[in-house]
Amino acid sequence: SIIGVADTTGSDAPGDGVVSLASARYCGTVSEKHVSETHRELLQSATTSIELERILERQLRDLGVDPNPPSAGSLLGRLLQQ
């Protein structure tokens, strides 16, 4: 899970300003990364992109696929080109 935990003024509970941390958590998740971004900024964050690439590479490795074949560039870059 990638969860926004921005400092939102006026909010009683931690979260991204729309979704609380408690609501964003998913039981059974393998990893949980907190990103200091609001709900709107979360998908544009470099930290989110790096974590997403890490998760996708791990899934490929679990499937026995090399996520970084020679001269292929980053996994996220290759996915965005398709």
pLDDT at 77: 64
Q: Reduced to 3 states, what is the DSSP secondary structure of residue 14?
A: coil
Judge contact between 19 and 35, C-beta under 8 A.
no
C-alpha–C-alpha distance, residues 7 and 15, integer Å:
8
Give, in degrees to the nearest 5, the angle at Cα 43 between 28 and 77: 95
pLDDT at 4: 92
pLDDT at 81: 62
pLDDT at 34: 93
pLDDT at 67: 75
Average pLDDT by consecutive 10-residue portion of the chain (82 residues)?
82 84 91 92 92 89 80 62 60
Element (H, E) at 48: helix 46-62
Single pTM value for the model: 0.70
